[in-house]
Amino acid sequence: VAVKVNDTTYSRVPVNADGSYKYYIKDKVKSKDDVVTVLGYDDANTVIIQKVVTIDPGVAPTLTTDEFVVGTTKEVTGKFTGGIKYVGIKVGDTTYDRVPVSADGTYKYYAKDKIKDTTTKVTVLGYDSVGLALEVEVAVK
């Protein structure tokens, strides 16, 4: 069998004696909207069957932020769900490095030295395994 993602067909993998197979596609599928097709070949290398695979997007990620008080609060904190793996912050036009989130569904980002006033827009950036998944503005007081 081989896998076709959108218009790109990837190399074949063997089928086990019991008819099962495994094909790693995580690095090939970039979006829940990609069209993934499994191609079945016969001994003459002719495609004899094609099946479109349904992509399960999993749990849609969410991200919430707690209020940040300039001069008092040290970290931007909040909660997340879904596939969020890292968070970063953007203060004005400056995007800072991302940090891993906690397994308990919370995150914290040390920002006391980055957020200095209430007029500059501050955003938390949530990243999943593919890249930037969502952005949420932080209430700065």
- Using DSSP's 3-state secondary structure scheme, residue 87 falls into strand
Contact 94, 48 (CB under 8 A): no
- Enumerate the domain spans of the chain: 2-53, 62-137
Residues of the chain with pLDDT under 50: none
pTM of the model: 0.61
Tell me the per-residue pLDDT of 34-53, one tens digit each, with 9 for 90 and over: 899 999 999 999 999 999 98
Residues near 41 by Cβ (< 8 Å), separated by ≥ 6?
1, 2, 12, 47, 48
* Assigned token pair, 63: 């991200």
What's the confidence (pLDDT) of residue 98?
Answer: 96
Q: Which CATH architecture has domain 62-137?
A: Sandwich (2.60)
| Tokens 């992509």 -> residue | 55
Distances, alpha carbon 6 to alpha carbons 12, 54, 55, 133, in Å:
16, 13, 13, 22
What's the confidence (pLDDT) of residue 38?
Answer: 96
What's the confidence (pLDDT) of residue 57?
Answer: 66
What's the confidence (pLDDT) of residue 8?
Answer: 95
Tell me the per-residue pLDDT of 114-125, one tens digit each, with 9 for 90 and over: 999 999 999 999
What's the confidence (pLDDT) of residue 130?
Answer: 77
